[in-house]
Homo-oligomer: A and B are copies of this chain.
């Protein structure tokens, strides 16, 4: 199932990352009798089955590649059906750690989108924990369910096709994450669902939304430790005797806002 680390050999049904270089890379499911085709030729899966992960393979054109065990990031990056902006690993990772997650916790998510963040959350709280994801768009619910299924993470996520602004069923949750365009609408239900002193995280594309959300958190009461942060990721081109930051970089993904639930007194 999805990200399985138990075997060192590729078997029928295994997921494999085929990596030619930093851009030509695919995550595929190996099936007996099947074939993988790309612009660099093809390779029969029967040639891959039985190989150890980490092996070199050769396409019909002679092009070489390596096969790796895909990580969660590889899956999200290369297998996910995308119907929405996908959260970047840098942001997802930072949120998971700042929410204080660990195995066994119960987390709320508002706005499941294509399911990328739900995957990171589920990965962090599995196997004992659960993610409760609210999503208004039913097409998104389908896409996210399929994606989580592929990764073997659906069993840890409860997706509800509902507007969290109208209320959240769960109580005493360990953390919450919100990724919708009008996050202030769900601040109250999120508050109700959280354990006291737990952390809520918000992912926000524009400064104006940050401004509005933060003022809402302040004016509304019940929140402390409000913090706004942004991460920039800089890749490096490493060539023989010529290290330099990559010419192109992603200039902005979004702002992250954290707040802690206070008792209203």
Contact = CB atoms under 8 A, between A and B. Distances in A.
Contacts of A56: 262-263, 265
Number of copies of this chain that the complex holds: 4
A126 B232 CA distance: 29
Nearest to A264: B54
A230 to B, nearest CB: 5
A104 B128 CA distance: 12
A97 B103 contact: no
A215 B242 CA distance: 11
Contacts of A210: 236, 238, 243
A123 interface: yes
Interface of A: 3, 5, 8, 19, 22, 52-56, 66-69, 71-73, 89-90, 92-94, 96-100, 102-105, 120, 123-124, 126-127, 172, 174, 195-199, 205-208, 210-211, 214-215, 224-236, 238, 240-253, 255, 260-263, 265
